[in-house]
Amino acid sequence: MKLSALVCAHNEEARLADCLRNLEFCDEIVVVADRCTDRTQEIARQFGARVIDGIFPLESQRKAAGVAAGLGEWILEVEADETVGPALAYEVRAAVHGRPKGDWYHVPVHNYVGEALVRRGWGGAFGTAGAPRLYRRAMKQWGPGRVSPPVALSGRCAGSIETPLVRQAEPDVGQMLARLDRQTALRAQDLADAGQTGGLLANLASGLRQFWASWIWRQGLREGEIGFQIALMAGLEPILSGLRARRLASMRGLAAEAAGAQAAPPARISRTG
C-alpha cells in the first residue's frame, strides 16, 4: 500500500529542502510548483520528487493536480512551511499499513511564530490547529477559491494522529502582516469573481465575529499578545478583503466600459434637406 506525499509550493526555495528532507519515508513525493520563478523545481528534483509545473490560480487546481499525479493509495498532504518529525513519520506509516478502519485521519498541527509555540487562536486563512491531512486518494475534494476553499470529505474518519505536524507560521510580526496583505488580495479576487463584494457594515460584522471566534472561542486570549495579534488579523481579513474586492470590481467595471466604448461602431450622421 503506497504512500504519496503532496506538497504545493510557490517560490519556496528558502524552506522547501527542510520540508522534503523529512518526507523521504514516503514511497514518493509529488511537488506541485505553481508559477515558480526561483529554484523550487530544481530543489524538488534533487530530492527525487515528481514535479508538476504549471499555472494553478485556485487551490483546488493545485491539490487536484498533485493527487492525480500521485501513485499512492494514501496521500499525506504537507505545506512547504511544515515539517514531519520521526515520530510522526512512524505513526503515519503505522496508520497506513495497520488496516485502517476508515478513509482519512485528522492530523494535529503545532504552529510556531519565531521560536514560540502558539497553540490557540488559529483558524481560517492564517493557520489551523489540525486538519484531515492523511487520506485515501479521491476521499478529499476542494471547492473553488484562492484562499481557504471549502473541503468535502468522503468515506469515514479513521481516527486522529497523535503526533503533530510542525509549522513555522511566520518568523516575526512583520511577516505575519505581509501574509495578511497577500491573503486579503487573493480573497478580494474570489469575492469579485463571485459578485459577493458585500458592503462595509456586513464586512465589519463578519470581522467582529471572526475576532471573537479567534480571541474567545479558540482561546487566543490565553496566548497573550501574539494571540491578540492573530485574532486582530482574523478580524481585519473580511474587512480588508471586502474593501479591496469592491475596488477591484469597480476597476473591472470601468475597464469593461472602456473596452465597450472602443469596440462600438462610430455613430452615423444623416443629412437631410
For 247, the domain range is 172-263
Q: Is residue 97 scored above 60 in pLDDT?
A: yes
| Least confident residue range of 18-27, 86-95, 112-121, 242-251 | 112-121
220 CB burial (10 A radius; 0-12, 13-18, 19+):
buried
Domain boundary (109, 143, 169) is at: 169
Residues 162 and 214 in one domain: no
Domains held by the chain: number: 2
Give this prediction's pTM. Answer: 0.86
Residue 273 lies in a domain: no
Tell me the residue ranges of DSSP E strands in the chain.
3-9, 28-34, 50-54, 74-77, 82-83, 104-113, 116-118, 130-136, 140-142, 151-153, 157-160, 165-170
Domain boundary among 102, 135, 169: 169
Report residue 135 as a C-alpha cell: 487520506
Among 29-33, 105-109, 131-135, 255-259, which stretch is predicted with the lowest mean pLDDT? 255-259
Q: How many beta carbons lie within 10 A of that of residue 146, not counting itself? A: 18
Identify whether residues 118 and 182 lie together within a single domain.
no
154 and 28 together in one domain? yes
Grid coordinates standing for 25? 519515508
Q: Are residues 123 and 228 in the same domain?
A: no
The reply to whether 157 and 182 lie within a common domain is: no
Cα separation of 39 and 16, whole Å? Answer: 10
* Confidence at residue 267, expressed as pLDDT on a 0 to 100 scale: 57
The CA distance from 252 to 192, in Å, is 9
* 125 in the same domain as 19: yes
- Residue 34 placed within a domain: yes
Share of the chain above pLDDT 90, in %: 72
Q: What is the pLDDT of the chain when averaged over all its residues?
A: 91
Percent of the chain with pLDDT over 70: 96
pLDDT tens digits, 167-226:
988 777 788 888 899 899 999 999 999 999 889 999 999 999 999 999 999 999 999 998
With H, G, I as helix, E, B as strand and everything else as coil, classify residue 9: strand
Question: Are both 135 and 88 inside the same structural domain?
Answer: yes
Tell me: the pLDDT tens digits for 37-59?
999 999 999 999 999 999 998 88
- 80 and 215 together in one domain: no
Within this chain, do residues 134 and 244 fall inside the same structural domain, yes or no? Answer: no
